[in-house]
Every structure is written in structure tokens, then in C-alpha cells.
């Protein structure tokens, strides 16, 4: 029981790291980026290539995948995304689906359609017994890293100058511009950071979530649920939403394998009926 709960937490943490970049994109620029998963997939493949082809240590691969996808995000933001901030949602949806299709076919072309496996360092594989609860070492590692990241994110947002600028820009873009905040720059950096996090999440998640060219499509719904249930105004909203989703999904697949895949949809529908404006929306009428 507790093992499953722990697995669910690890899964939820990963989802949070994967999706939190998207909450900023949405909250700040009102941009619906369905291609967020493509960045995560890029991170995963970078790790696979670095480890399996060049034999680089897993621990080095993680920051590398963060950096490379962050740069990739920055480049794409400056060249393509920035032109569509003012476009309507249909355009954004079509554009980002286009990116998804390209990344799926591209991954297939370069890496092949099979599931990618990574060989974890020995100290991270296997399970250990903690007070009678079987805990996967790698999942423990995931939980620790993701918690640290979540805390760091919360601190960056609440304590640093960049964080306060970002929050100001999310709250009211025009006012922020008026205050002399360089919103496009703030956003470009945030977009890059969010993409980097997605890449890191993809790298860490390759073991737990699996990695194949369909990754961006498979996880699109998870990201959307995390963001629309958790809202875009806080860090804690998406975090809780991701945890809820992770635990429900893992528990559902374990306890009721026949209907396991439907647990998240049921969750989504219940949430829609109870809280149509998101689990943690700001007051009435937004």
C-alpha cells in the first residue's frame, strides 16, 4: 500500500517538474503550448544518447539535458513562439500540434520507434526496505531531487527579484511593462527555464514513464490536467494537482488494472463538475 503511495508520489513529482514550465507559459503569455512534452522528450533522448553512446555518467546527463533543452527552448521561443503570443488559441493549438508531429516523426527518424532503455547507476537500481515498506531507490532519488527542485522554484518565485518580476508580469502584463520590467526577456528566460525543467523531467522520467517517439502525445493530457486543475497563479496548485494525478494514476493501474487507465479521466471529469475554474482558482469569476 505504502509502496504504491510512494510510487504515486514519485510519479506525481515527475509530472510536476514536467508540467510546471507549461503553467508559466500559460499564465504569463496565455499561450497554450501543447508541444511542451516535446521538450521533455528531447531531454530524455539527450540522456539516452549521452549515456548509451558516449558512456557519460547519469548524474552528468541530468544537468546536460536541462541545459540543452533550455537552450533549445530559448531558440524556439525567439524564432517561432514569440510571434504567436497574440494569436488566438486555435492558432496556438495548431502550431504546437505541428511541433508535436514534427518532434514525433523526428524522434522516430533519428532514434527509431522502440522504447529507449537507460542503465541506471547500480546505487540507484533495485529496492530497499524501509520500515517494511519496499521503496525503489530510483524513485526515492526522484522524489528527493524533485522536492528540492520544487522548493527551489518556490524560493526563486517568492524571494528573488526575477521571481517578483515574473509574478508581476503574470498578474498584469501591461502594468509590469509600465513598471519597466522587460516582459519579453523575462518570458524568454522563463520559457527556456520551463523547457529545461521539462527536459530534466524527461531525462529522469525515462525510467519511470518510458521513452518513445509518442511521448509528447501520450503525456499531453497529463500536462493539460495538471495545468487546468492546478491553475497558473501559484506553484502549489500545479504541485498538488500533479501529486493527486500521480497517486490516482498509479493506484488506479495497480488496484483496478481493468479500468486503471480511466481513473485519470474520471478524475478530470469530477474536477470539471466540482471546480470548473480549477482546483485552486483565485476567488469567484477570476
Partner 1 sequence: MSEIVLETRGLSRRFGAFMATNDVSLKVERGARHALIGPNGAGKTTLINLLTGVLPPSEGQVYLEGEDITGLASFRRVKRGLTRTFQINQLFPEFTPLETVCLAITERQGVGHSLWSTMAGYGRVIEEAASLLERFGLASVMGERTSILPYGKQRLLEIALAFASRPRVLLLDEPAAGVPEDERHEVLSIVSDLPKDVTVLLIEHDMDLVFSFASRISVLVAGAVFAEGTVAEISADPRVKAVYLGENA
Partner 2 sequence: MSLVEQEDAGALATTDAATDSRAARLMKRRSRIRLYEVAIWIAVIAAYFVLPSKMLILTEIAILALFAVSLDLVLGFAGIVSLGHAAFFGLGAYVAGLLALHFVAEPVTGLVVAGLITGLLGFLTSFLILRGSDLTRLMTTLGIGLMMAELANQMAWLTGGADGLSGFSLNPIFGVFEFDLFGKTGYVYCLVVLFLGVMIMRRIAFSPFGLSLKAIKSNAMRAGMIAVPARKRIVTAYTIAAVFAGVAGALLAQTTSFVSPDVLAFHRSADVLMVLTIGGTGYLYGGIFGAILFTLVKDALSIVTPQYWMFWIGLILVVLVLVGRERLNRWVDYLPKRMAGREDDR
- Answer with the entry of partner 1, partner 2, none that 285 interacts with (C-beta below 5 to 8 A by kind): partner 1
144 grid coordinates: 528527493
CA–CA gap between residue 212 and residue 233 (Å, rounded): 32
Q: Which of residues 3-62 bind partner 2 (CB under 8 A)?
A: 26, 32, 34
Residues 166/24, Cβ–Cβ less than 8 Å: yes
CA–CA gap between residue 180 and residue 190 (Å, rounded): 17
Comparing CB distances to partner 1, the nearer of 3 and 281 is 281
- Answer with the entry of partner 1, partner 2, none that 284 interacts with (C-beta below 5 to 8 A by kind): partner 1
- Answer with the entry of partner 2, partner 1, none that 5 interacts with (C-beta below 5 to 8 A by kind): none
- Answer with the entry of partner 2, partner 1, none that 283 interacts with (C-beta below 5 to 8 A by kind): partner 1
Q: Closest separation between CB of residue 282 and partner 1, Å?
A: 8
* Burial class of residue 53, CB neighbours in 10 A (0-12, 13-18, 19+): exposed
Q: Binding pattern to partner 1, positions 247-286, x when CB under 8 A?
A: ------------------------------------xxx-
**Residue 122 CA neighbour count, 13 Å, CB half:** 0
Q: 51-55 — which CB contacts under 8 Å span 24+ positions? A: 51/118, 51/119, 52/118, 52/119
Residues 138/120, Cβ–Cβ less than 8 Å: yes
Please report, as ranges, the residues that interact with partner 1 according to CB under 8 A.
Answer: 283-285
Please report, as ranges, the residues that interact with partner 2 according to CB under 8 A.
Answer: 26, 32, 34, 80, 83-84, 87, 89-95, 97-106, 108-109, 217, 220-221, 224-225, 227-228, 258-259, 261-262, 264-265, 268-269, 272-273, 276-278
Amino acid at each position: 500500500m505504502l509502496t504504491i503511495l510512494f510510487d504515486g508520489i514519485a510519479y506525481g513529482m515527475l509530472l510536476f517538474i514536467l508540467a510546471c514550465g507549461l503553467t508559466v507559459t500559460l499564465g504569463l503569455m496565455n499561450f497554450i503550448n501543447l508541444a511542451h512534452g516535446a521538450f521533455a522528450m528531447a531531454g530524455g533522448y539527450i540522456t539516452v544518447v549521452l549515456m548509451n553512446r558516449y558512456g557519460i555518467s547519469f548524474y552528468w546527463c541530468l544537468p546536460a539535458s536541462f541545459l540543452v533543452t533550455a537552450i533549445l527552448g530559448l531558440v524556439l521561443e525567439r524564432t517561432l513562439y514569440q510571434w504567436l503570443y497574440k494569436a488566438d488559441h486555435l492558432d496556438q493549438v495548431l502550431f504546437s500540434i505541428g511541433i508535436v508531429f514534427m518532434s514525433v516523426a523526428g524522434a522516430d527518424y533519428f532514434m527509431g520507434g522502440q522504447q529507449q532503455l537507460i542503465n541506471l547507476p547500480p546505487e540507484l537500481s533495485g529496492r530497499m526496505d524501509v520500515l517494511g515498506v519496499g521503496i525503489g531507490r530510483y524513485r526515492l532519488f526522484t522524489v528527493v531531487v524533485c522536492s528540492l527542485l520544487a522548493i527551489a522554484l518556490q524560493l526563486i518565485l517568492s524571494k528573488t527579484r526575477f521571481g517578483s518580476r515574473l509574478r508581476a508580469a503574470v498578474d498584469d502584463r501591461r502594468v509590469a511593462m509600465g513598471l519597466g520590467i522587460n516582459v519579453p526577456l523575462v518570458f524568454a528566460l522563463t520559457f527556456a527555464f520551463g523547457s529545461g525543467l521539462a527536459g530534466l523531467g524527461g531525462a529522469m522520467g525515462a525510467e519511470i514513464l518510458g521513452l518513445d517517439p509518442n511521448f509528447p502525445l501520450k503525456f499531453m493530457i497529463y500536462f493539460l490536467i495538471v495545468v487546468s486543475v492546478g491553475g497558473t497563479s501559484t506553484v502549489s496548485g500545479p504541485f498538488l494537482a500533479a501529486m493527486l494525478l500521480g497517486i490516482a494514476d498509479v493506484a488506479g493501474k495497480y488496484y483496478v488494472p481493468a479500468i486503471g487507465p480511466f481513473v485519470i479521466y474520471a478524475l478530470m471529469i469530477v474536477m470539471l463538475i466540482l471546480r470548473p475554474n480549477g482546483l485552486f482558482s483565485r476567488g469567484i469569476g477570476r
